[in-house]
A = this chain, B = another copy of it.
Amino acid sequence: MNIAVLGTGVTGQTIGTKLVRLGHEVMLGSRDPAKPSAVTWARDAGQHALYGTFQNAADFGEIVFNCTLGSASLEALQQAGSENLRDKILIDTSNPLDRSSEIWTLTVCNTDSLGEQIQRAFPDSKVVKTLNTVNANVMVEPTKLTEMTDIFVSGNDLDAKATVVMILKDWFGWRKITDLGDITTARSVEMYVPLWHNLRNAISAQRFNIKVVTS
């Protein structure tokens, strides 16, 4: 499948590499048509790894991963172009973080979320929020943790969520996937991120996740 990955940071490269290894054609998109980090990634990741602008990538992909920084996501998606995102599944892994001070804060929360903002800005796309609660390595290699942990999906389109659940399960190896509900539930997974950050500091590790345990 042709897949667009918007964003050339650690998350974009990690997901892009995983998808190439699974046999997909992947185009990493950025503002710059030949961003050095994307060029290097494509050279190292093999012949199915491509790069281009946000617009090139969105046009190329049948499915689109948003792996840009939350602070840049809406602008990146505008550059990608609503016509190139129309009717497509848009998997949103981003977080609306302000990391300018030691205590991370969110630029939107509580009564709105970045996931909702994206869905409102691109009403003809099928936004599914997922994977934003874990580090990039855990996103694509959940089985490397010592136990199976939980991942969540939020979105308005049931078919799109079913496809994303298949991707999480069959491609990335997730086993415990909980559908939290419509895109408004993106608020809760984004608001979890400050706890993720405090846990990261407390346990001095980035590769971790939470497992939901019942009685």
Given contacts A105-B110, A105-B111, contact A203 B195 (CB under 8 A): no
Q: Does A194 make an interface contact (CB < 8 A)?
A: yes
Contacts of A179 in B (CB 8 A): 202
Q: A15 to chain B: closest CB distance in Å?
A: 18
Q: How many copies does the complex hold?
A: 2
Q: Is the CB of B109 within 8 A of A191?
A: yes
Give A48-65 interface residues, CB cut-off 8 Å to B.
Answer: none
Q: Is the CB of A198 within 8 A of B214?
A: no
Q: Is the CB of A180 within 8 A of B207?
A: no
Q: Is the CB of A207 within 8 A of B211?
A: no
Q: Is the CB of B207 within 8 A of A197?
A: no
Given contacts A185-B198, A195-B191, contact A205 B213 (CB under 8 A): no
